[in-house]
Structure 1
């Protein structure tokens, strides 16, 4: 197979293909990247298997991949912040820059935002990708390209930690020990959480969470939301002040509200069904804030600082690496829920 610009292209539900795409030249303010590493995200699997994620639907073929890092191969007109050979992580979100949300610093809420790697916009699961130079962040020498590809999901957890108000002494519950749950664990600890409890049905993932610094791990035994909340309170010797719900499971959403201490905060990160019944009265009467997150604003400097300082080690969650030619095999593995973060080597 010709591999000049081999790409992972999603045509429609259950129709994922390896095929060649055109190599674009960079335009004004853009750079061409030779992509090095791309992480497979749960949203990629949802698009492949269900044709949608939330309101985003697959309507035409496009190249997947929004967790990417690469090396600058060409510069477009007017680019001065980068040079050929620079190693960069990409921010896959671009916005209008003119609306009130953008001007007030909440550009992630822009109604005209575009996310590369989400339909219909081509992403980075390819050999060569053109991207806005101002959305490419140069990696310090001590940050690997694998770590660079993990910066995008790391942003999600940094934004969640800020929304939740994690600070010194916070007692944090994390529901789900996948990529986002484990990165949330690292961020919560780096923000000063005094106790972090991670719950999941997968014992091997919980063992990894323990090795990464979780103070308490829990395999739920009960199927009721209140009963699970009681389990959490017992194993933590008290209620968490903050809960990060990373699974999207309705039971965990409900349990996290019951479990969280009065005056605390629940941040829903994982996406589950469109409609979920929650114990709203319980939250209201105890002043438990329930918040959501979407994308992330202004998180790159924080993520780069955390990685450069060595305060967190994100490489721990990489369990598999495949060559780009093996991408379909990698997607099948993720769909079987094997491993945690699966990385594609596009070099």
Structure 2
């Protein structure tokens, strides 16, 4: 096992200033914490946004910050009071540590804790490092049937689980997922896993829809940014009717029963998609807004009211990791195909990995993953050579 005294981290200093260098760990492990030797860390869209813009809303990188929050690893040491984890355990790390005392946390909705300490959200350091100290209660042991790469994917998968819980996806329901990026894909998987009768996914990129169809047998709909919300809503209903009837989408099919989705989960969050969701959803249905594409949006409020549509927000997640691990272990979801690119944890590897993620439209990247085990093995081999 690598030496914590030689801990290396990917540290964001500002816009397009990401450096890989030594990063000092605390001398002592805090009570209730474990020290995890990181194995795999994925790149999220928020990581790329911080790199390119130095901020997301009010969260500004004004001091060096370790990046990354989708992660897994192996317990290297346990702090005082830790009893349920031991050295050598393989774990997935839930990145948000709440206070556990505020009203939201006491009610079980700790993702809404205003003081939550979330990896790689300024000023909190992230997990793209050789070692990370983290509360043991937020490190979840992985069964042998779940790889460490899949363990790191529990983080984005959690977003899908939480959104589908908010939407109350269940057998008998039809679901439309707007946006086929990484989050749209995990929502798609979770909607199927939760038992939805029919699921349609949309995107403006044919390549993303091809990926969804190839790996997840998805019913897809190619849209354009120029479409009116009404046109998009009508197309969505036609496609859903065809999926339910097993026929080609035609205007005539729109008269078939169940063409209006019971649930629309918007993973884009722009004017076109949210308005289309209101127009497409069935009366009494639910719309869950996951994507944060635009800060201000207008709604057809009268239509929303007359259809008695429930409009819900979905922010990150809470109480999702055990279910995510179970879904992966039971093969009810398959997250591994989403990992399209892998890079070593080195200065060159980190630079190339972030460039690949930032240019996803050109590279075809869905999820970029760093393999820290490869670096650790190389270091151990070099150490053995020096000792000979």
Give the TM-score normalised by the residue count of structure 2: 0.86
Aligned counterpart for 1:52 among listed residues 44, 51, 55: 55
Greater helix percent: which structure? 2
Give the superposition deviation at 1:13.
2.1
- State the alpha-carbon separation in 1 of the partners of residues 180 and 267 from structure 2: 8
1:91 equivalenced with 2:85 (yes/no) = no
Whose Rg is larger? 2
Give the superposition deviation at 1:26.
1.9
SS of 1:32's equivalent in the other structure is: strand
* Aligned counterpart, 1:82: 85
- State the alpha-carbon separation in 2 of the partners of residues 39 and 48 from structure 1: 15
SS of 2:275's equivalent in the other structure is: helix
Runs of at least 4 residues of structure 1 off by over 6 A?
none
Aligned counterpart for 1:23 among listed residues 22, 25, 39: 25
Give the superposition deviation at 1:53.
2.0
CA-to-partner distance for each residue in 1:55-110, whole Å, 9 max, x for gaps?
A: 32222111011100000111112211111111000011111111222111111111
- State the alpha-carbon separation in 2 of the partners of residues 88 and 262 from structure 1: 43
Does 206-215 or 161-170 show the bigger shift? 206-215
* Aligned counterpart, 1:289: 310
Maintained 8 Å contact 1:324/1:346: yes
Maintained 8 Å contact 1:27/1:76: yes
Return closer, same or farther for 1:9/1:102 CA change in 2, 3 Å cut-off.
Answer: same
* Aligned counterpart, 1:341: 367
Give the superposition deviation at 1:214.
4.5
CA-to-partner distance for each residue in 1:123-160, whole Å, 9 max, x for gaps?
A: 11011111111111000111000000000111111110
CA-to-partner distance for each residue in 1:261-298, whole Å, 9 max, x for gaps?
A: 11111111111121122222221111111111112111
SS of 2:133's equivalent in the other structure is: strand
Aligned-CA RMSD value: 1.6
Maintained 8 Å contact 1:185/1:214: no
Give the TM-score normalised by the residue count of structure 1: 0.96
1:160 equivalenced with 2:163 (yes/no) = yes
Maintained 8 Å contact 1:54/1:274: no
Q: Which structure 1 segments of 5+ residues have no match?
A: none
1:226 equivalenced with 2:230 (yes/no) = yes
Q: Which structure 2 segments of 5+ residues have no match?
A: 242-258, 374-388
SS of 1:212's equivalent in the other structure is: helix
Aligned counterpart for 1:14 among listed residues 13, 16, 40: 16
SS of 2:6's equivalent in the other structure is: coil
